[in-house]
Amino acid sequence: MRDNFSLYKRLDWVLIILYLALVFIGWVNILASCGAGEDGTYNILDFGEKYGKQLIWICASLVLAVIIIFVINPKLYNVFAWWIYGIMMLILVAVIFVGVDINGSRSWIRIGPLQIQPAEFAKIATIIALSSLMSKYGFTLKKKIHFVEAVALIMLPTLLILMEKEAGSALVFFGLIFMLYREGMSGWILVIGGTVVLFFILTLLWGPIITSIVLLGTLVVAFLIHNHYTSPHSKLKRKHLLIKYYILALIMGIGMLFSVGFVFDNVLQPHQKARIEDLLGIKEDIMGVGYNVHQSKIAIGSGGLFGKGFLQGTQTKYDFVPEQSTDFIFCTVGEEWGFVGSLLVIILYASLIIRIINRAEKSENRFTRIYGYSIACIFAMHVFINIGMTIGLAPVVGIPLPFFSYGGSSLWAFTILLFIFVRLDADRLQVFR
């Protein structure tokens, strides 16, 4: 009893309060997105409606949070990290063959009346395994073998989820690159990765020939700047080496640019290609693939500064926005609570992510620090992509807004992710490997 009381005092209640606020506001907006019953009223205990089901999942999440904090020994996450990871990878493989097809994604398992999406829980297993691997004595990302191990650990679930045709969940794993950067990965990898994405987009817009000319100009400017700031003593020795590197980069870059069309046409699914083309303005189809985003922007724009008021949103009330309780839940906030309400939600998310990073940075335990930075990256990716796609700044990839979107799998997974960190943080001055 005394130990539990001591633990109670060590918990970060700011994180817990932020979690409860986001869950409550999310449920209120799910209620709004569902609309009134046939009699024009709302029965929050109607478990046949989405808001009623979400209440059940919220209660289950709170139970999970209590179990994680007061029952499970945090040392076990490190001890059983590879067992958790291995079992989850086997489940992801099984889903490919026995999963239920929902909206073109074969990423769900039906267990009685429940539908579970293992991809959401794969984030937990991957982050725990990654934290265990990188917290080992002597591990450093400056060693190539260690870097390859960390990247392979991330890429395995990513590829398996892609095979389930769940591009949104797979995309989120790439956010972990920022945690790797914090732990010592070269910043050049971030620069190169960002450059590849940029030139991929430019090739879709301008074609490979024009983009190749732009690439050549960019490399020439980069070489001149690089050469200018090179030490005079080593300039002659390094100049020939720099030229070789830049020529190699040019050849590889042009090869990549001319392969963009093949990748775009043969790797991506038709609906994914259509959504990217709509986002970039290559093809506009507001009555087809662009319908959701078009209606979402109308809903958000109509909210004005302070919104239309709770349950007063016409886009919401008349069900103009498909998937409004899940992927497009943020447009309900924009329509009914306006710019002020939307800004408040964004501030809550920013506060949550910054708080996690701050607590992780203060931890004496490397496992806890890596875990904290990892979940901060995952949350940030979800928030950025989800809100971005509702306002037309990111492609529609089917990704939930943490603690907000309707659905048990995502809510439970995000709750587990957060409260494992809350429990680890309560012992942040301890070093348990």
Q: Do 6 and 58 fall within a single domain?
A: yes
- Percent of the chain clearing pLDDT 70 (strictly above): 85
Q: Say how far apart CA 160 and CA 315 lie, in whole Å.
A: 37
Most confident of the following: 28-37, 144-153, 228-237: 144-153
- Whether residue 328 lies inside any domain: the answer is yes
- In whole angstroms, give the CA distance from residue 348 to residue 426: 22
Q: Please report the pLDDT score of residue 147 as a whole number.
A: 93
Q: Which of 246, 268, 290 is where one domain is finished?
A: 268
pLDDT digits (tens, 9 = 90+) for 199-231: 888 888 888 899 889 988 888 888 777 776 665
pLDDT score of 1: 53
Percent of the chain, pLDDT > 90?
39
- 141, part of any domain: yes
Are 69 and 123 part of one and the same domain?
A: yes
Residue pLDDT, tens place only, 289-308: 667 777 878 888 888 888 88
User: By mean pLDDT, which of 291-295, 389-393, 418-422 is the weakest?
Assistant: 291-295
Q: Residues 181, 238: one domain?
A: no
This prediction has a pTM of 0.89
Residue 431 resides in a domain:
no
Which token pair is 183? 């732990």
Say if residue 283 is in the same domain as residue 259.
no
Cα angle for residues 310, 315, 321 (degrees, 5° grid): 120
Report the alpha-carbon distance of residue 87 to residue 85 in Å, rounded.
Answer: 6
pLDDT(433) > 50: no
Per-residue pLDDT of 113-144, as tens digits, reads 677 888 899 999 999 999 999 999 999 998 99
Claim to verify: residue 238 and residue 286 sit in the same structural domain: no
Residue 432 in domain: no
Within this chain, do residues 94 and 225 fall inside the same structural domain, yes or no?
no
What is the tens place of the pLDDT at every residue in 354-368?
A: 999 999 999 889 999
Same domain, 233 and 324: no
- 88, 233: one domain: no
Higher-confidence position of 257 and 430: 257
Give the residue from 268, 295, 320 where a domain finishes.
268
Q: Residues 5-30: pLDDT tens digits?
A: 688 888 999 999 999 999 999 999 88
pLDDT at 87: 95
Instruction: Please tell me the distance from the alpha carbon of residue 431 to that of residue 433, in angstroms, as a whole number.
Output: 6
Query: Domain range for residue 237?
Result: 207-268
245 has a pLDDT exceeding 70: yes
Side-chain-facing half-sphere of 405: CA atoms under 13 Å:
23
Q: 315-330: per-residue pLDDT in tens?
A: 766 667 777 777 888 8
Rounded-to-integer distance, Cα 244 and Cα 250, Å: 10
pLDDT-derived band at 432, boundaries 50, 70, 90:
very low
Interacting residues of 267 by C-beta distance below 8 A, sequence separation 6+: none
* 198 inside domain: no
Lowest mean per-residue pLDDT among 58-62, 74-78, 406-410: 406-410
19-23, 34-38, 347-351: which range is least confident on average?
A: 34-38
Does 223 share its domain with 335? no
Q: What's the mean pLDDT in 371-393? A: 92
The pLDDT-based confidence of 430 (bands split at 50, 70, 90) is: low
User: Do residue 135 and residue 248 come from a single domain?
Assistant: no
**What total of structural domains would you count in the chain?**
2
Tell me, yes or no, whether 372 and 238 share the same domain. Answer: no
- The reply to whether 153 falls in a domain is yes
**Mean pLDDT, residues 89-103 taken together:** 84
pLDDT tens for residues 41-55?
666 777 777 888 899
H or E segment and range at residue 107: strand 105-111
Residue 197 lies in a domain: no
- The better pLDDT of the pair 345, 269 is held by 345
Give the pLDDT score at 90.
95
State how beta strands 114-116 and 100-102 pair.
unpaired
Cβ neighbours around 201 below 10 Å, total = 15
Mean pLDDT value across the chain: 84
For residue 350, the model assigns a pLDDT of 96
Residue 192 has pLDDT above 70, yes or no: yes
| pLDDT score recorded for residue 238 | 62
pLDDT for 328 equals 84
Both 249 and 182 in one domain: the answer is no
- Compare 112 and 86 and report the one with higher pLDDT: 86
pLDDT at 4 over 60: yes
pLDDT tens-digit series, residues 149-183: 999 999 999 999 988 878 778 889 999 999 999 99
Q: Which sign does the torsion angle of CA 394, 199, 271, 160 carry?
A: negative
